[in-house]
Chain A
Amino acid sequence: MSERRIAGEPASRGIAIGPLVRLADGSAEIGRRHGDPAAERAALDAAITAARTELAELAAAADELAREILEFQVEMLGDPALVAEAAEAIAGGAPAGAAWAAALAGQIVAFGEAEEEYFRARAGDLADLRDRVLGHLANGAAVVPQTLPAGAILVAHDLGPSRFLGLDWSRLGGLALEAGSRTSHLAMLARARGVPLVTGLGPLAGETGEAVLDAAHGFVILAPEPDTLARYHAQRSAAGADDDPAALARPATTRSGERVLTLLNVDDPAALEPHRLAASDGIGLVRSEFLFLGRERPPEEAVQRRAYEALLEAAAGRPVIVRTLDIGGDKPLPGVTLPQERNPFLGLRGIRLCLERPELFRPQVRALLRAAVRGNLKVMLPMVAHPDEIAEARELFAAELAGLRAAGLAAALPEIGIMVEVPAVAIRPERFAAADFFSIGSNDLIQYTLAAARDAGGRVARLALGLDPAVARLIANMVDFGRETGKEVSVCGDLASEPDAVGALLDLGVRRLSVAPAALGRIKAAIAVHG
């Protein structure tokens, strides 16, 4: 069979080479018989008990966000109403798996049709629960991690967060999903843990054998030719530098000895490994959305302040740059009603939304002002397109600062910089001189410059790959402006985490990179061979 390439959506960078193994979703179990109704019932009870124990263990080891999701599942599993419905079907002659799936199906449909996004999202939890119990009914055959071959590329239609957290990713290669999306909670977990993930691949039924998962570009290569394999093996060993303590610990200097600052992008502080933070020059981008996701309503000021203070403490004097809430109509936020827009990427998002909805923004502003007295905190505004947005945000910070001080609370005004994502900023940076620093968000800058979404797939996504000359010009503009004014200019988008792009960024004069924690070793290695 000749080599075939199936395109999906890159959701968490990395390369895996290994056998494709389909994760049992339990669908094969639905029709299987264990015996008479009594035996079916006993099998179901045993599977539920095993699943509950497993979920409780996962919850105990999880961070706060994951624990809430898991505890809800544990409670669901212990609900006699759910079991009663399945038990009735079993008494009527149904196999345990079919009875359980049918009992859950009604609930999944009911939640899936709910008006509120929050309730709809629970349908995913229930599907996760259904599959976990079906997996146990099947005797855990392919579900138990120990039976998965080392380095395997796991294939599933979609995967719930509890299944993901239950797998031993230190010995598995990566994950290829037929459905799913890069904005899911699962994708966030995968990026934080450095697990290569490609979503939206479409049907992969029956595909087996050795394969390559190229999660940097978003495809799977089936039946790879020997030279394809050799190429990816070489790439992967270069990436191995990420886990090599010596490679991580070395200061980032070019071959000619020029120092390059390497900072980290943080999606979820719970998943930030201390040895990577220790090997970095600080935190160049905190995506503060982690505080808002997986909750029923926006977090209050105190919750946010504690999270920022914890990051400052972990950074031990090095800078921590927090990006203020960056959401829009395409990224729904529980408890917040956003307008449905025909084109959310050109709509009310980022700083525009925060200025429009100060009740959402003010608690974050106060939390940042108060945390600022505890370390080297900087604040970064996303999606700035007009200088007035910086002025308005500064007014809000000043007003809240005055309020806090009047109340006798310790607070300080941090440096306020902006993301460079909208070409308007990079074309005329001097208009945005009210910003204290600049950080180039390459993902959006590329998308807005080339009018191409990276997750569009195919021809469109290819436009958004790599460093287009027009984007390079915009970055050079920013670097020149930084040199003239003495203001910091960094790159914090995915481009900075791609070894292939780092040389080009250094050539353009970039000397500050903020990268995915899992890419730190490989980026330092790429810097070391430059110049």
Chain B
Amino acid sequence: MTAASATVLITHPTGLHARPAVKLTKLAKTFEAAIRLRPDGQEGWIDAKSIVKVMGLKLRSGSRLELAAEGVDAPDAVAQLRALVERNFDENV
């Protein structure tokens, strides 16, 4: 089983609100790998494919987010999700 992980800084000015959260979960669901998220420094992980859980984090701009994936396409999943966050979810901000 392949595993991959990364930490990424949320720079989108409004943080993980509905539209960015929808983009993140939609992208996560395109991968086979199990993908987990947690705010940097927090104990529990949440499922990156669950909009309920992702919105529940209520992450603000400036928070760091840990990404971890396990599965055949784990490295690709982590790389693409990280890039999405770094691109401010492709929003003009």
Contact = CB atoms under 8 A, between A and B. Distances in A.
Interface in A65-113: 68, 71-72, 75-76, 78-82, 107, 110-111
A392 interface: no
A68 B18 contact: yes
Contact of B51 (A79, A114, A118, A303): A79
A122 B58 CA distance: 12
Given A75-B25, A302-B92, A118 B17 contact: yes
Of A76, A80, A114, most B-chain CB atoms within 10 Å: A76
B50 A80 contact: yes
A273 interface: no
Given A72-B22, A122-B55, A296 B14 contact: yes
Interface in B1-16: 13-14
Nearest to B60: A116
B64 interface: no
B50 A81 contact: yes
Given A81-B50, A107-B52, A297-B13, A114 B58 contact: yes
Interface residues of B, number: 19
B58 A81 contact: no
Contacts of A290: none
A296 B17 contact: yes
A395 interface: no
B92 A300 contact: yes
Contacts of B25: 75, 79
Contacts of B62: none
Interface string B24-66: 0110000000000000000000010111110110100000000
A448 interface: no
A417 B52 CA distance: 47
A110 B13 contact: no
A119 interface: yes
Contacts of A79: 25, 50-52
B55 A71 contact: no
A81 B17 contact: no
A458 interface: no
Contacts of B51: 72, 75-76, 78-79
Contacts of A76: 51-52
Contacts of B17: 118, 296
Interface residues of A, number: 24
A79 B50 CA distance: 5
B93 to A, nearest CB: 8
Contact of A71 (B22, B58, B92): B22
Given A79-B50, A79-B51, A297-B14, A110 B19 contact: no
Nearest to B92: A300
A335 interface: yes
Of B13, B47, B58, most A-chain CB atoms within 10 Å: B58
Contacts of B93: 297, 300
Contacts of B18: 68, 72, 122, 296
B14 A72 contact: no
Nearest to A118: B17
A297 B14 CA distance: 7
B88 to A, nearest CB: 12
Contacts of B52: 76, 79, 81-82, 107
B51 to A, nearest CB: 5
Contact of B19 (A72, A303, A335): A72
Contacts of B14: 118, 296-297, 335
Interface string B73-93: 000000000000000000011
A314 B49 CA distance: 42
A76 B92 CA distance: 24
Interface of B: 13-14, 17-19, 22, 25-26, 47, 49-53, 55-56, 58, 92-93
Q: Which 9 A-B pairs have the closest CB atoms?
A: A81-B50, A296-B14, A72-B18, A296-B17, A81-B52, A75-B51, A75-B22, A79-B52, A79-B51
26 contacts: A71-B22, A72-B18, A72-B51, A75-B22, A75-B25, A75-B51, A76-B52, A79-B25, A79-B51, A80-B49, A81-B50, A81-B52, A82-B52, A107-B52, A110-B56, A111-B55, A116-B58, A118-B14, A118-B17, A119-B58, A122-B18, A122-B55, A296-B17, A296-B19, A297-B93, A300-B93
Given A79-B25, A335-B13, 11 more contacts: A72-B51, A75-B25, A75-B26, A107-B52, A111-B55, A114-B58, A296-B17, A297-B14, A297-B93, A300-B93, A303-B92
